[in-house]
Chain A
Amino acid sequence: MLRWTGGTSLLLMAALALASEDAEQVRTLTEQGRILPLEQLITEARKRKPGILIEAELDWEPEQGITIYELLMLGADGELWELEFDALTGELLELELEHEHD
């Protein structure tokens, strides 16, 4: 349980609010039609590696030309696969076994 006491609470709240910020960013971009919906990318990913979506992340720095959607899929073979798509075109950029890289 959180304790809502004094000045720390505001700081704490700010930090917590950040947590789902990436989802809000994705939602805004998807609604604006600037990136593809996640559902479409999952369908695409399943064509390569049938499995369950474990995690998704958007690497969004269009100024530097980075528009990468990272999907972490648990394959039917029990292995975790990392797939990278271009969030604009849906093109598969990378398909590899998941490893600790960042």
Chain B
Amino acid sequence: MTSLERRLNLGLSLSLLLLILGAWWLGHAALHRSADALVLSRLEHDADTLLANLRFLQDGQPRVAERHLPPVTRRPYSGHYQLLRTPSSIAWRSRSVWDFNLTAPLLPVGERTSWTQPGPDGQELLVWSAGYRRNGQEFTLTLAEDVRPIMGEIRGFEHTVALLALLGFFGMLLIQGWILKHVFALLAPLYRDIDRLEAGATGQLTESVPREFLPLVRKFNGLLAVQSARLMRSRQAAGNLAHALKGPLAVLLRALESDTATVLDRDSARAQCAQIEKLLERELRRARLSGAPAAGAWFDADAELGPLIRLLRQIYADKDLRIDWTTTHPDPLPFDREDMLELLGNLLDNACKWGRSWVRIMLGVKDGVCRIQVEDDGPGCPQPALSKILARGSRLDERTEGHGLGLSIVREILQLYCGDLHIGRSELGGLGVSVSLPLGARELTKTR
């Protein structure tokens, strides 16, 4: 399972480590370079002093006026060492070198170099060496200084910095943990609302959550709205069906109860049975047209229309219908798949039912509005009936007459998506239903 805290900690740790190591390396390099530079410049000055007090005898042997050298070069193991090398041998050492073996290269004239090496008595030497020529005599001066005292200081400082960095590192992790804990505490109202949702005390989750969680909450609320609308629709459909069955059943019962059932009664009962069968057929068809539920999926018109139309051709196989469809929008639309199948299923079923030989459906998107037009070449609908159908709040009675337009369902879905419905005459001669659905009308569609 992924953990936000673990990921954040990992990210913070890595970036902090990089930062600390980088800063450490820079500081380390700067400190050591400047300390070395300081010591080396001093050694260079000492070399100048040595040069000033140096003379070569006729036999090529050097003579150094040692009492003019710094006294520290006279104390054994003092940490300041000086050495003169001629091509043939080490010709002179300061007294401080004593019995220690200080390596001394022979450098070409004008060349200088420096290095570090261990000294006597645990010392750390920074050694500076340069090649000279004087009166035709080539020699190399090598001077060394014990840098232990400076290095001790630097190392102490570096240890302190390392300790502080480590403390800072863990401190930052702690602070981040603390912040995260408080962030997650901000989600408490959400948990409370989910409990209330379960108990039926609310239909929505609170939107007073951290901004980053708002899209999630809105999407969830959108889904809740869709689900509750769908639940309402199926309840209504069940209610409608129950209501529609009630009348025929009453007639049947009466026919059964009467001892003297006339032929007329029987005919009436048969008619009622046929009515019941029609109603059941209708409901079954609706269920088939809605397809398999795939919660929350987007509607892909190209992919869904084909099967839907094939299904309708099967249902109306006896009619030999020509069903044309065009979609001008290849991408999935941000509408719930089930809702759209129900909407299109109802419109198309209606068109197929009334159409004589030709049904046409067009789907396109223009200016952020999805337009669907379904036409047939049937008898159409007279204007007064149309007004009745379209009258707001009027419940279309689909039961008694058996030729309802399935529009109540369409209207409910349109309400959910803030859509519009227009019914008129089609170019094909029959009814033309056009539906427009704004793409961004609902939070649900925005936050997908």
Residue from the set A4, A12, A17, A31 with the largest chain B CB neighbour count within 10 Å: A17
> Measured between C-beta atoms, what is the minimum distance from A24 to chain B in Å?
8
> Mostly helix, strand, loop or mixed at chain A's interface?
helix
Contact A26 B98 (CB under 8 A): yes
Are A23 and B95 touching (Cβ within 8 A)? Answer: yes
Please name all residues of chain A whose beta carbon is closer than 8 Å to the beta carbon of B76 when the two chains form the complex.
23, 38, 53, 55-56
A80 to B93, CA, bound (A): 27
Q: Is B53 an interface residue (CB 8 A)?
A: yes
A54 at the A/B interface (Cβ < 8 Å)? Answer: yes
Known interface pairs A1-B53, A27-B93; 14 further A-B residue pairs with C-beta atoms within 8 A, sorted by A's residue number:
A2-B55, A12-B65, A13-B57, A16-B67, A20-B94, A20-B95, A23-B76, A27-B99, A38-B100, A53-B77, A53-B121, A54-B75, A55-B75, A56-B98
A7 CB, min distance to chain B CBs, angstroms: 14
Q: Please tell me if A90 contacts chain B, counting CB pairs below 8 Å.
A: no
Q: Contact check, A1 vs B52: say whether CB atoms are below 8 A apart.
A: yes
Query: What are 29 A-B contacts defined by CB distance under 8 Å?
Result: A1-B53, A2-B65, A4-B55, A9-B55, A13-B57, A16-B64, A17-B63, A19-B67, A19-B74, A20-B66, A20-B92, A20-B93, A20-B94, A22-B95, A23-B93, A23-B97, A26-B99, A27-B93, A27-B97, A30-B99, A31-B99, A38-B98, A38-B100, A39-B120, A53-B76, A54-B75, A55-B75, A56-B76, A56-B98
Partner of A16, one of B65, B98, B120, B121: B65
| B66 with A16: CB separation less than 8 A | yes
Chain B: minimal CB distance from A35 (Å) = 9
The residues of B that contact A75 with a CB separation of less than 8 Å are none
Q: Does B422 contact A (CB under 8 A)?
A: no
Of residues 33 to 66 in A, which have CB atoms within 8 Å of B's CB atoms? 37-39, 42, 53-56
Tell me how far the C-beta of A4 lies from the nearest C-beta in chain B, rounded to whole angstroms. Answer: 6
Q: Which residues of B contact A56 (CB under 8 A)?
A: 76-77, 98
Range class of the A interface residue count: 20 to 34
Q: Is the CB of B65 within 8 A of A27?
A: no
Known: A39-B121, A55-B76, A56-B98. A16 touches B93 (CB 8 A): no
Residues on B with C-beta less than 8 A from A16 are 63-67
A2 and B66 form a contact (CB under 8 A)? no
B75, closest chain A residue (CB) = A55
Q: Give the shortest distance, in Å, between B205 (CB) and chain A (any CB).
A: 74
Q: Which of B53, B63, B64, B93 has the most CB of A within 10 A?
A: B63
A4 neighbours in B (Cβ, 8 Å): 55
- Give the 9 A-B CB pairs with smallest separation, nearest first: A20-B95, A30-B99, A13-B63, A56-B76, A19-B66, A23-B95, A2-B65, A27-B99, A26-B99
A27 contacts which of B52, B92, B98 (Cβ < 8 Å)?
A: B98
Interface of B is mostly: mixed
Taken together as a complex, chains A and B put the C-alpha atoms of A2 and B77 apart, in Å, by 27
Measured between beta carbons, the chain B residues less than 8 angstroms from A12 are 65
The answer, yes or no, to whether B392 is at the interface (CB within 8 Å) is no
Contact A13 B55 (CB under 8 A): yes
Shortest CB-to-CB span from B51 to chain A, Å, is 12
Q: Is B68 an interface residue (CB 8 A)?
A: yes
The smallest C-beta distance from B189 to any residue of chain A, in angstroms, reads 68
List residues 82-104 of chain B with CB under 8 A from any CB of chain A: 92-95, 97-100
Complex alpha-carbon distance, A89 and B18, angstroms: 56
Which residue of chain B has its CB nearest to the CB of A46?
A: B121
What residues of chain A lie closer than 8 Å to B99, measured between beta carbons? 23, 26-27, 30-31, 37-38
Chain A residues within an 8 Å CB radius of B120: 38-39
Beta-carbon contacts under 8 Å, B357-394 to A: none
B68 touches A42 (CB 8 A): no
